[in-house]
Structure 1
Amino acid sequence: MHSIEFEAHLKDGVICLPATYRRWREDRPVKVIVLVDDETHHSPLRDASQRLSAILDISRRCAAAPELDPRGANEIIGYDANGLPS
């Protein structure tokens, strides 16, 4: 048995192998050890707090943006004689 080392990011619970190792056959047995850097690991609560902060920041920027088109939604979309958007 030999070992390889590479850095990766989890995406939907999946770690992708670098291209160099993707030629390995699909059913090859492997042993996996995951090391997490304590400096970059955040608790789910902190991550949720950061996401909320980012969402609030975006909403503040949107609210502060100038109005570029003073027309109302009904006027912008427009409706036909049957009340459907035209």
Structure 2
Amino acid sequence: MIASSDSQAIAAELRRVANDSLNGESLQRALARITGADDSSWRGVMRRLADLIDPPAFLTTPFICEKCGGEWPSDIRFEDCPYCGVEIIND
């Protein structure tokens, strides 16, 4: 869970950057850096923002693709791996 002071610091940095410049950094990379996203892909950034807005009540075990090692929350279901495209077979 995110401490209130951490959320305030993240919000302050987002506001500062919104009024300043990305200094050549992509928006996605800037958001990943500012929010502390573990995964800097757009999916990872969106998940991190969602967790900041509405922190999960409990942590779930991530699903890990056996082919590429791609990882995502187990409560999100895909037919194919979002990273490498391999078909996911649910046992």
TM-score interval, normalised by the smaller of the two chains? under 0.3
- Pick the structure with greater CA Rg: 1
Going by fraction, where is helix more abundant, 1 or 2? 2
Going by fraction, where is strand more abundant, 1 or 2? 2
Query: What is the TM-score normalised by the length of structure 2?
Result: 0.22
